[in-house]
């Protein structure tokens, strides 16, 4: 995996974890892991892709939040697919 591919995945993971948490009330990462991930992204900010920096602010990462991020429908679908690979099928039985 190239460095660019690694950073793209790290950025996508932030987006996917955010949409799962804020829109679906599903956590694929613990709060501590998400905060650590945000701090890692903040540390490596100069290396992150421009498409990510246009959507996520340093303040978002410093606060450990993806609440204000705009998520496209294809990203929502990718987030659900990622969750199901990691945690198993999403149960619709409440």
- Residue 94 scores a pLDDT above 70: no
The pLDDT tens digits of the residues spanning 19-76 come to 999 999 999 999 999 999 999 999 999 999 999 999 999 999 999 999 999 999 999 9
Cα–Cα distance measured from residue 27 to residue 14, given in angstroms and rounded to the nearest whole number: 12
The pLDDT tens digits of the residues spanning 74-89 come to 999 999 999 999 888 8
The DSSP string of the chain is --HHHHHHHHHHHHHHHHHHHHHH---SS-HHHHHHHHHHHHHTGGGS-HHHHTTS-HHHHHHT--TT----HHHHHHHHHHHHHHH-PPP---
């Amino acid at each position: 995996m190239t460095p660019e591919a690694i950073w793209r995945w790290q950025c996508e993971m932030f987006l996917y974890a955010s949409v799962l948490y804020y829109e679906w009330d599903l956590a694929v990462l613990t709060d501590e892991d998400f905060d650590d991930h945000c701090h890692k992204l903040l540390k490596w900010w100069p290396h992150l892709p421009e498409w990510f920096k246009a959507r996520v602010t340093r303040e978002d990462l410093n606060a450990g939040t993806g609440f204000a991020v705009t998520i496209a429908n294809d990203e929502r679908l990718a987030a659900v697919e990622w969750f199901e690979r990691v945690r198993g099928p999403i149960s619709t039985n409440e």
